[in-house]
Amino acid sequence: MGGASTKLAACHVSPVFLRAQDTTEKAISFIKEAAKNNAKLVVFPESFIPAFPIWSALKAPTEKEHHFFFHNMVSESVYIDGEEINAIRAIAKKLNVIVSIGVSEKVRYSNATLFNSNILIGDDGEILVHHRKLMPTFYEKLTWAPGDGHGLQVVETRVGKIGVLICGENTNPLARYSLAAQGEQIHISTWPAIWPTRLTKVQDDSKVQDKSPVKEPPDRSNFLDNIFGSNYDNVAANRTRAAAHCFEAKCFGIMCAGHLSADVMEWLAELRTPEINSETLKLWPRGATMFLDTTGALLPGFTINRETSAKKKCDFLQEEEGILYAEIDLSDCVEGKQYHDIAGGYQRFDVFELKVDRRRREPASFTDE
Protein backbone atom coordinates (compact mmCIF):
# COMPACT_ATOMS: atom_id res chain seq x y z
CA MET A 1 0.00 0.00 0.00
CA GLY A 2 1.38 3.37 -1.00
CA GLY A 3 1.33 6.52 1.05
CA ALA A 4 1.63 10.24 0.39
CA SER A 5 4.62 11.32 -1.68
CA THR A 6 7.11 13.97 -0.61
CA LYS A 7 9.26 16.14 -2.88
CA LEU A 8 12.96 16.40 -2.04
CA ALA A 9 15.52 18.83 -3.49
CA ALA A 10 19.28 18.31 -3.79
CA CYS A 11 21.25 21.43 -4.74
CA HIS A 12 24.19 20.67 -7.01
CA VAL A 13 25.84 24.04 -6.57
CA SER A 14 29.14 25.89 -6.30
CA PRO A 15 29.94 28.19 -3.39
CA VAL A 16 31.07 31.74 -3.91
CA PHE A 17 34.57 30.56 -3.23
CA LEU A 18 35.80 31.39 0.28
CA ARG A 19 33.14 34.07 0.75
CA ALA A 20 30.80 32.95 3.51
CA GLN A 21 28.27 35.79 3.34
CA ASP A 22 27.89 35.61 -0.44
CA THR A 23 27.62 31.82 -0.34
CA THR A 24 24.94 32.08 2.34
CA GLU A 25 22.97 34.47 0.14
CA LYS A 26 23.31 32.01 -2.73
CA ALA A 27 22.06 29.17 -0.51
CA ILE A 28 19.04 31.25 0.48
CA SER A 29 18.22 31.89 -3.19
CA PHE A 30 18.28 28.15 -3.89
CA ILE A 31 16.16 27.42 -0.82
CA LYS A 32 13.59 29.92 -2.08
CA GLU A 33 13.57 28.31 -5.52
CA ALA A 34 13.17 24.80 -4.09
CA ALA A 35 10.41 25.91 -1.73
CA LYS A 36 8.59 27.62 -4.61
CA ASN A 37 8.61 24.23 -6.32
CA ASN A 38 7.07 22.63 -3.20
CA ALA A 39 10.16 20.79 -1.96
CA LYS A 40 9.90 19.91 1.74
CA LEU A 41 13.59 19.06 2.27
CA VAL A 42 16.43 21.03 0.66
CA VAL A 43 19.99 19.61 0.76
CA PHE A 44 23.35 21.27 0.08
CA PRO A 45 26.81 19.66 -0.42
CA GLU A 46 29.72 19.05 1.92
CA SER A 47 31.41 22.21 3.25
CA PHE A 48 29.27 24.38 0.98
CA ILE A 49 29.95 27.39 3.18
CA PRO A 50 32.55 28.70 2.44
CA ALA A 51 34.24 26.06 0.18
CA PHE A 52 35.91 22.66 0.12
CA PRO A 53 39.72 22.90 0.71
CA ILE A 54 40.73 21.49 -2.64
CA TRP A 55 44.12 23.26 -2.42
CA SER A 56 45.25 20.66 0.11
CA ALA A 57 45.27 18.09 -2.70
CA LEU A 58 47.26 20.31 -5.03
CA LYS A 59 49.89 22.09 -2.93
CA ALA A 60 52.30 20.79 -0.30
CA PRO A 61 51.57 21.90 3.30
CA THR A 62 54.85 23.80 3.37
CA GLU A 63 54.11 25.94 0.31
CA LYS A 64 53.06 29.52 0.95
CA GLU A 65 49.81 29.17 -0.97
CA HIS A 66 48.67 26.48 1.43
CA HIS A 67 49.14 28.79 4.42
CA PHE A 68 47.38 31.61 2.59
CA PHE A 69 44.30 29.53 1.80
CA PHE A 70 44.11 28.01 5.28
CA HIS A 71 44.13 31.51 6.74
CA ASN A 72 41.28 32.46 4.44
CA MET A 73 39.41 29.27 5.28
CA VAL A 74 39.59 30.10 8.98
CA SER A 75 38.44 33.65 8.33
CA GLU A 76 35.45 32.57 6.23
CA SER A 77 34.37 29.49 8.23
CA VAL A 78 31.21 30.02 10.26
CA TYR A 79 30.10 29.75 13.87
CA ILE A 80 27.14 27.52 14.64
CA ASP A 81 25.46 30.52 16.31
CA GLY A 82 26.77 33.02 13.76
CA GLU A 83 24.90 35.22 11.31
CA GLU A 84 25.22 32.80 8.37
CA ILE A 85 23.57 29.85 10.13
CA ASN A 86 21.01 32.18 11.70
CA ALA A 87 20.07 33.45 8.23
CA ILE A 88 19.58 29.87 6.98
CA ARG A 89 17.47 29.09 10.05
CA ALA A 90 15.32 32.16 9.46
CA ILE A 91 14.57 31.30 5.83
CA ALA A 92 13.82 27.66 6.71
CA LYS A 93 11.26 28.85 9.25
CA LYS A 94 9.78 31.48 6.94
CA LEU A 95 9.32 29.05 4.05
CA ASN A 96 8.44 26.05 6.25
CA VAL A 97 11.14 23.80 4.78
CA ILE A 98 13.79 21.51 6.25
CA VAL A 99 17.36 22.38 5.24
CA SER A 100 20.56 20.32 5.38
CA ILE A 101 23.75 22.26 4.70
CA GLY A 102 27.47 21.50 4.92
CA VAL A 103 29.73 24.12 6.50
CA SER A 104 33.27 24.57 7.66
CA GLU A 105 32.66 25.36 11.32
CA LYS A 106 34.88 27.39 13.61
CA VAL A 107 34.62 27.42 17.39
CA ARG A 108 34.97 30.20 19.94
CA TYR A 109 37.50 28.36 22.11
CA SER A 110 40.11 28.43 19.33
CA ASN A 111 41.13 30.89 16.65
CA ALA A 112 42.11 28.18 14.14
CA THR A 113 40.39 24.86 14.96
CA LEU A 114 37.82 23.95 12.30
CA PHE A 115 35.33 21.12 11.86
CA ASN A 116 33.74 19.69 8.75
CA SER A 117 30.12 19.97 9.87
CA ASN A 118 26.61 19.40 8.61
CA ILE A 119 23.64 21.25 10.05
CA LEU A 120 20.11 19.88 9.74
CA ILE A 121 17.58 22.66 10.34
CA GLY A 122 13.89 22.00 10.94
CA ASP A 123 11.00 23.79 9.29
CA ASP A 124 10.57 25.72 12.55
CA GLY A 125 14.09 27.11 12.21
CA GLU A 126 15.52 25.01 15.05
CA ILE A 127 18.75 23.03 14.66
CA LEU A 128 17.80 19.35 14.71
CA VAL A 129 21.24 17.81 14.18
CA HIS A 130 24.68 19.42 14.44
CA HIS A 131 27.08 16.80 13.12
CA ARG A 132 30.87 17.10 12.95
CA LYS A 133 32.59 14.67 10.60
CA LEU A 134 34.06 11.89 12.72
CA MET A 135 37.37 11.77 10.89
CA PRO A 136 38.63 14.08 8.14
CA THR A 137 39.73 12.03 5.14
CA PHE A 138 43.26 12.04 3.71
CA TYR A 139 44.42 15.64 3.07
CA GLU A 140 41.32 17.05 4.79
CA LYS A 141 43.24 16.54 8.04
CA LEU A 142 45.27 19.62 7.06
CA THR A 143 42.12 21.71 7.51
CA TRP A 144 39.68 20.01 9.87
CA ALA A 145 39.88 18.40 13.30
CA PRO A 146 38.14 15.07 14.09
CA GLY A 147 34.56 15.43 15.28
CA ASP A 148 32.60 13.40 17.83
CA GLY A 149 29.53 11.18 18.01
CA HIS A 150 27.09 13.91 18.99
CA GLY A 151 25.69 14.17 15.46
CA LEU A 152 24.99 10.45 15.03
CA GLN A 153 21.31 11.17 15.48
CA VAL A 154 18.23 10.38 13.42
CA VAL A 155 15.45 12.92 13.87
CA GLU A 156 11.78 12.47 13.12
CA THR A 157 10.39 15.16 10.83
CA ARG A 158 7.23 15.61 8.81
CA VAL A 159 9.03 14.15 5.77
CA GLY A 160 10.41 11.11 7.64
CA LYS A 161 13.28 10.07 9.90
CA ILE A 162 16.44 11.76 8.62
CA GLY A 163 20.11 11.00 9.25
CA VAL A 164 23.28 12.55 7.81
CA LEU A 165 26.85 11.43 7.18
CA ILE A 166 29.57 13.42 5.46
CA CYS A 167 31.55 12.03 2.54
CA GLY A 168 34.08 9.38 3.59
CA GLU A 169 32.36 8.50 6.87
CA ASN A 170 29.75 6.77 4.71
CA THR A 171 32.51 4.16 4.46
CA ASN A 172 32.29 3.52 8.23
CA PRO A 173 29.89 0.59 8.77
CA LEU A 174 29.47 1.36 12.48
CA ALA A 175 28.49 4.97 11.80
CA ARG A 176 26.00 3.82 9.19
CA TYR A 177 24.62 1.12 11.46
CA SER A 178 24.14 3.64 14.27
CA LEU A 179 21.75 5.54 12.02
CA ALA A 180 19.97 2.42 10.78
CA ALA A 181 19.47 1.42 14.42
CA GLN A 182 17.41 4.60 14.90
CA GLY A 183 14.94 3.79 12.13
CA GLU A 184 16.43 6.05 9.47
CA GLN A 185 14.18 6.49 6.42
CA ILE A 186 16.06 9.23 4.52
CA HIS A 187 19.86 9.15 4.46
CA ILE A 188 21.69 12.29 3.39
CA SER A 189 25.28 11.83 2.20
CA THR A 190 27.24 14.92 1.15
CA TRP A 191 30.30 15.06 -1.09
CA PRO A 192 32.81 17.53 -2.58
CA ALA A 193 32.76 18.59 -6.21
CA ILE A 194 36.06 16.87 -6.91
CA TRP A 195 38.45 14.81 -4.84
CA PRO A 196 41.78 14.22 -6.62
CA THR A 197 44.24 11.74 -5.16
CA ARG A 198 46.93 11.90 -7.85
CA LEU A 199 48.40 14.64 -9.99
CA THR A 200 50.03 12.21 -12.43
CA LYS A 201 48.60 10.20 -15.29
CA VAL A 202 45.45 12.25 -15.25
CA GLN A 203 45.11 11.99 -19.01
CA ASP A 204 45.23 8.20 -18.74
CA ASP A 205 42.11 8.30 -16.57
CA SER A 206 39.93 9.11 -19.55
CA LYS A 207 40.85 5.75 -21.03
CA VAL A 208 40.30 3.62 -17.94
CA GLN A 209 37.66 5.43 -15.95
CA ASP A 210 33.98 5.83 -16.69
CA LYS A 211 33.17 9.27 -15.29
CA SER A 212 29.39 8.85 -15.58
CA PRO A 213 27.66 7.63 -12.40
CA VAL A 214 25.05 5.62 -14.29
CA LYS A 215 27.02 3.72 -16.94
CA GLU A 216 28.68 0.36 -16.69
CA PRO A 217 31.74 0.16 -14.38
CA PRO A 218 35.16 0.59 -16.00
CA ASP A 219 37.27 -2.27 -17.27
CA ARG A 220 39.35 -3.57 -14.35
CA SER A 221 41.45 -6.02 -16.36
CA ASN A 222 44.57 -3.99 -15.63
CA PHE A 223 43.58 -3.50 -12.01
CA LEU A 224 46.84 -2.28 -10.47
CA ASP A 225 47.45 0.34 -13.14
CA ASN A 226 43.89 1.56 -12.93
CA ILE A 227 43.84 1.85 -9.14
CA PHE A 228 47.38 2.94 -8.33
CA GLY A 229 48.20 4.84 -11.51
CA SER A 230 45.08 6.98 -11.79
CA ASN A 231 42.79 9.19 -9.77
CA TYR A 232 40.40 7.71 -7.23
CA ASP A 233 37.06 7.23 -8.96
CA ASN A 234 35.07 9.04 -6.31
CA VAL A 235 31.78 8.98 -8.25
CA ALA A 236 31.70 5.19 -8.44
CA ALA A 237 32.89 4.86 -4.87
CA ASN A 238 30.35 7.37 -3.56
CA ARG A 239 27.46 5.62 -5.24
CA THR A 240 28.64 2.22 -4.03
CA ARG A 241 28.73 3.38 -0.41
CA ALA A 242 25.43 5.24 -0.53
CA ALA A 243 23.68 2.41 -2.34
CA ALA A 244 24.96 -0.15 0.15
CA HIS A 245 23.53 1.88 3.02
CA CYS A 246 20.16 2.31 1.31
CA PHE A 247 19.97 -1.43 0.67
CA GLU A 248 21.01 -2.36 4.20
CA ALA A 249 18.91 0.23 6.06
CA LYS A 250 16.00 0.07 3.55
CA CYS A 251 16.03 3.86 3.36
CA PHE A 252 16.05 6.46 0.61
CA GLY A 253 19.34 8.13 -0.25
CA ILE A 254 20.15 11.71 -1.18
CA MET A 255 23.65 11.97 -2.62
CA CYS A 256 24.44 15.68 -2.80
CA ALA A 257 27.79 16.68 -4.30
CA GLY A 258 29.25 20.10 -4.89
CA HIS A 259 29.66 21.67 -8.31
CA LEU A 260 32.94 23.04 -9.63
CA SER A 261 32.35 26.44 -11.22
CA ALA A 262 34.34 27.79 -14.14
CA ASP A 263 36.02 30.49 -12.03
CA VAL A 264 37.27 27.90 -9.52
CA MET A 265 38.54 25.75 -12.40
CA GLU A 266 40.52 28.75 -13.63
CA TRP A 267 41.88 29.33 -10.14
CA LEU A 268 43.01 25.70 -9.85
CA ALA A 269 44.85 25.93 -13.15
CA GLU A 270 46.55 29.14 -11.99
CA LEU A 271 48.16 27.32 -9.06
CA ARG A 272 50.68 26.24 -11.70
CA THR A 273 51.42 22.81 -10.35
CA PRO A 274 53.31 21.16 -13.26
CA GLU A 275 50.81 18.33 -13.64
CA ILE A 276 47.76 20.65 -13.63
CA ASN A 277 46.41 22.59 -16.57
CA SER A 278 42.97 23.45 -17.89
CA GLU A 279 42.82 20.28 -19.99
CA THR A 280 43.81 17.77 -17.31
CA LEU A 281 41.38 19.37 -14.85
CA LYS A 282 38.51 18.53 -17.18
CA LEU A 283 39.43 14.84 -17.05
CA TRP A 284 39.08 14.48 -13.29
CA PRO A 285 35.77 12.82 -12.44
CA ARG A 286 33.32 15.31 -10.97
CA GLY A 287 31.06 14.54 -8.05
CA ALA A 288 27.48 13.69 -8.95
CA THR A 289 24.17 14.46 -7.26
CA MET A 290 21.44 11.82 -7.40
CA PHE A 291 18.74 9.99 -5.48
CA LEU A 292 18.64 6.30 -4.55
CA ASP A 293 15.66 4.14 -3.65
CA THR A 294 15.36 1.71 -0.75
CA THR A 295 17.06 -1.07 -2.73
CA GLY A 296 20.06 1.12 -3.57
CA ALA A 297 18.96 1.55 -7.19
CA LEU A 298 18.89 4.91 -8.93
CA LEU A 299 15.69 6.81 -8.15
CA PRO A 300 14.42 8.81 -11.14
CA GLY A 301 14.83 12.53 -10.63
CA PHE A 302 13.90 15.67 -12.50
CA THR A 303 14.76 19.34 -12.85
CA ILE A 304 12.31 22.23 -13.01
CA ASN A 305 12.81 25.09 -15.47
CA ARG A 306 13.03 28.41 -13.63
CA GLU A 307 11.20 30.30 -16.37
CA THR A 308 8.51 27.87 -17.51
CA SER A 309 8.23 25.56 -14.46
CA ALA A 310 8.41 22.64 -16.87
CA LYS A 311 9.76 19.36 -15.52
CA LYS A 312 12.56 17.51 -17.29
CA LYS A 313 13.59 13.97 -16.44
CA CYS A 314 17.14 13.92 -15.08
CA ASP A 315 18.73 11.01 -13.25
CA PHE A 316 21.73 12.95 -11.96
CA LEU A 317 23.48 16.30 -12.05
CA GLN A 318 27.22 16.42 -12.60
CA GLU A 319 28.49 18.96 -15.12
CA GLU A 320 25.71 21.53 -14.71
CA GLU A 321 24.75 23.51 -11.63
CA GLY A 322 21.12 23.24 -10.56
CA ILE A 323 18.54 21.59 -8.33
CA LEU A 324 17.62 17.93 -8.71
CA TYR A 325 14.21 16.85 -7.41
CA ALA A 326 12.64 13.50 -6.62
CA GLU A 327 9.40 12.22 -5.15
CA ILE A 328 9.50 9.56 -2.43
CA ASP A 329 6.92 7.45 -0.61
CA LEU A 330 8.02 6.36 2.86
CA SER A 331 5.87 3.23 2.65
CA ASP A 332 8.58 1.90 0.29
CA CYS A 333 10.83 1.53 3.34
CA VAL A 334 8.67 -1.35 4.65
CA GLU A 335 8.80 -4.28 2.25
CA GLY A 336 12.56 -4.82 2.24
CA LYS A 337 12.61 -5.21 6.01
CA GLN A 338 10.67 -8.44 5.64
CA TYR A 339 13.86 -9.89 4.18
CA HIS A 340 16.54 -8.38 6.41
CA ASP A 341 15.96 -5.65 8.94
CA ILE A 342 19.56 -5.30 10.10
CA ALA A 343 18.65 -3.31 13.22
CA GLY A 344 15.55 -5.35 14.01
CA GLY A 345 14.35 -8.82 13.13
CA TYR A 346 17.50 -9.72 11.21
CA GLN A 347 19.87 -8.76 14.04
CA ARG A 348 21.29 -10.99 16.74
CA PHE A 349 21.30 -8.77 19.82
CA ASP A 350 22.63 -11.67 21.91
CA VAL A 351 25.74 -11.85 19.69
CA PHE A 352 26.47 -8.24 18.73
CA GLU A 353 26.37 -5.02 20.73
CA LEU A 354 27.19 -1.49 19.60
CA LYS A 355 27.67 1.38 22.04
CA VAL A 356 27.78 4.92 20.67
CA ASP A 357 29.05 7.83 22.75
CA ARG A 358 27.11 10.91 21.62
CA ARG A 359 28.56 13.36 24.13
CA ARG A 360 29.78 16.63 22.64
CA ARG A 361 33.52 16.90 23.26
CA GLU A 362 34.95 20.11 24.70
CA PRO A 363 38.64 20.94 25.32
CA ALA A 364 38.24 21.22 29.10
CA SER A 365 35.77 20.98 31.93
CA PHE A 366 35.91 23.87 34.41
CA THR A 367 34.60 24.02 37.97
CA ASP A 368 34.30 27.46 39.58
CA GLU A 369 33.52 28.35 43.17
**How far is it, in rounded angstroms, from Cα 6 to Cα 2?**
12
Active-site entry in 59, 106, 167, 256 = 167
Q: Which residues contact 174 (CB under 8 A, 6 or more apart)?
A: 354
Active-site entry in 26, 46, 248, 333 = 46
State yes or no: is 314 an active-site residue: no
State yes or no: is 63 an active-site residue: no
State yes or no: is 46 an active-site residue: yes
**How far is it, in rounded angstroms, from Cα 265 to Cα 47?**
18
**How far is it, in rounded angstroms, from Cα 154 to Cα 163?**
5
Beta bridge partners of 117: 103, 132
Active-site entry in 59, 106, 133, 211 = 133
- Catalytic residue annotation: 46, 133, 167
